[in-house]
Amino acid sequence: MTSIPQALLWCLSAGTAAAVVLAALLVRVRKERAGLRARLTAAEEHNSATLHSNTELSARLRATEAEIRHLAEARLPDLTLALAHPHVPVRGLLDKRFGGSGTDEALEAVLTQVGEAITKERTRVDAAAQSTLRGATTTIQALLYQVQTSLQTMQHKYDDPQIAQDLLDADFLNEQALRRVQATGVVCGAWPGLTREDSYLAELVVGATSRLRGYERVQVSNQLRDPVAVVARAVEPIAITVTELLANALHHSHRELPVSVTLQQGSRGASVIIDDYGVGMHDDEIKHAMELLAGGDSLLLTQLGDPPRSGFAAAGQLVRQYGFGVHVEPSPYGGVRAVVYIPGDPLLTVLDAGARPISVMAPMPHRAPGGPRDRAAVPSTMPTGASAPATPAAAMPAPRPAPAEPYAAPAQPAPAAAAPEPQQSHQDQAPAEGELPRRRRRRPQSEPQPESHPDTINLRSPEETGSRWAALQRGTESGRAAAHSEPPRSPEGNAQS
């Protein structure tokens, strides 16, 4: 049996121990509670922050969606439009706060990609259209040349005015068709479709006018000093270019007004200057034309408008390929002045006018009275210099005054004149009225011709003609006398006489 105190002691100590333990626990619980409270607060704060950012994010999401919708509904259509018409602006971001952000970059990337894709596709489609057209025009052009050949043969074959008229009309229509087809082909990247031989510039320009309706309004004035010709490879390109510029001039001026073409020879090349007196072009039109004429690498059919205006574009393509120059500016006469400059070095040559006579329709060079004709400039006709005291042999190209009168008078006996020579002397005799004498080159080459001309005339002068006729008459008389002396062959013969 244990004593009560002992039991009490045990109880007390147990109680104390329990109290200590409890106290310790209490302290710990309190600590935990404070910690928990702090965590709760933090959690609440965090929660509210999360909520906040959540709303922000959703707002941002909505804004981004709006931005994407803006991209689809406004910016992409703008872009497609802007690619077709460069002056259309492409709208920017809907919300400026996205500027520089990843969204902005991504959207820009979309725009760039779409833009590239559209451009690429457009070029591809255009190239397909161009190649289709090119194939068609090449074939049609070849056929039209065949038509031209047969029309030409027929023109030489049939003299009847009615038929000839129809043939000339058909020929003209054919030329117009050719011009259209050729220009379209050139715009589509085809070559001019024809290689000619070296041709006189004057001939080329006249040929170019013949391809246009209203060619009778074109007045060509030939100021070339030499028989300047264009080398074979550039003949047709320059002809096309001149044709298109002339077409422009004729189209934009009144049908009663002339279009002046001047052929001018410079020291380093030759120019074809086309002046019209029409409505003229605005500054931006001229700017656009010059852009086309500068010959950019890529040319899209879609840029040419509807109906397509292919003239300047065709000229531009040829300028790029063949290296001559075209300039368009407002004319001092109020219309448009177009200048085709043909550099002398690669593109011009001088032809032997004897071997290759110029077309009869080419305008005559404006020459001073007494100036030798270009076609006289054949080296083989160089005289010995008997009548050229003032001309040193080396100074053949040097100009010298060309008096008209002294060469018409002398009647030295000269060998029978070659065919062109009297023509030249005739030219000498024919002063274009109102023209001043000009210094001309190659005087010596036409020296013997003036003498031969009066000589030819003299050969047929009264004495000889008289003697010829006298001989004829004598012959006739003697014949008649012989006939009369013979007996009549038949009564009918008698009755007739």
Partner 1 sequence: MTPRQSSGRRLVPAYLATGGRAQPSRNTLDRLTVLISVDMPITSEVRPEEHRILELLQPGALTLAEVAAHLHLPVSVVKVLVADLVDAGRLHARVPIPEAEQFDRQILERVLDGLRSLKS
Q: Distance between CA 209 and CA 364 in Å, rounded?
A: 16
Q: Distance between CA 442 and CA 343 in Å, rounded?
A: 24
Q: Distance between CA 228 and CA 225 in Å, rounded?
A: 8
Using a CB cutoff of 8 Å and minimum separation of 24, what contacts does 28-35 make?
Answer: none
Closest CA to 145 of 188, 199, 195: 195
Q: Distance between CA 309 and CA 306 in Å, rounded?
A: 8
In the bound complex, what is the minimum distance in angstroms from residue 453's beta carbon to partner 1?
Answer: 7
- In one-letter notation, the amino acid at residue 110 is V
Residue 474, interface with partner 1 (CB under 8 A)?
no
What is the three-class DSSP state of 159? coil
Contact 270, 228 (CB under 8 A): yes
In the bound complex, what is the minimum distance in angstroms from residue 117's beta carbon to partner 1?
Answer: 46
Q: Say which DSSP state 94 is in.
A: S
Among 50, 58, 165, 412, binds partner 1 (CB under 8 A): 165
Residue 364, interface with partner 1 (CB under 8 A)?
yes
Is 207 or 316 the residue whose CB approaches partner 1 more closely? 207
Give residue for tokens 């000093």.
225
In the bound complex, what is the minimum distance in angstroms from residue 187's beta carbon to partner 1?
Answer: 22
Residue 495, interface with partner 1 (CB under 8 A)?
yes
Residue 460, interface with partner 1 (CB under 8 A)?
yes
Contact range with partner 1 by CB under 8 A, out of 39-47, 199-207, 388-396, 401-409: 199-207
Rounded to 10 degrees, the C-alpha dihedral 280/282/285/289 comes to 50
Residues 122-151 that bind partner 1 (CB under 8 A): 145, 148-149
What x-and-dash track marks residues 402-441 binding partner 1 by CB under 8 A?
---------------x-x--xx--xx-xxxxx--------
Contact 73, 107 (CB under 8 A): no
Tokens read off for 102: 């990843």
| Residue 122, number of CB atoms within 10 A of its CB | 15
Residue 196, interface with partner 1 (CB under 8 A)?
yes
Among 85, 87, 96, 156, binds partner 1 (CB under 8 A): 156
Closest CA to 151 of 139, 169, 137: 169
Is 32 or 197 the residue whose CB approaches partner 1 more closely? 197
Among 2, 100, 159, 393, binds partner 1 (CB under 8 A): 159
Residue 169, interface with partner 1 (CB under 8 A)?
yes
Tokens read off for 293: 């004429």
| Residue 480, number of CB atoms within 10 A of its CB | 10
Distance between first and last Cα of the chain: 209
Residue 216, interface with partner 1 (CB under 8 A)?
yes
Is 394 or 419 the residue whose CB approaches partner 1 more closely? 419
Contact 354, 378 (CB under 8 A): yes
Contact range with partner 1 by CB under 8 A, out of 169-177, 296-304, 315-323, 440-448: 169-177
Among 47, 153, 461, 478, binds partner 1 (CB under 8 A): 153
| Beta bridge partner(s), residue 463 | none
Among 210, 264, 303, 321, binds partner 1 (CB under 8 A): 210
Contact range with partner 1 by CB under 8 A, out of 61-69, 158-166, 251-259, 295-303: 158-166
Residue 450, interface with partner 1 (CB under 8 A)?
no
Is 67 or 421 the residue whose CB approaches partner 1 more closely? 421
Site residues (CB under 8 A) for partner 1? Answer: 145, 148-149, 152-153, 155-161, 163-165, 167-169, 171-172, 175, 194, 196-197, 199, 203-204, 206-207, 209-210, 215-216, 235, 239, 359-364, 417, 419, 422-423, 426-427, 429-433, 453, 456, 460, 492, 495-496
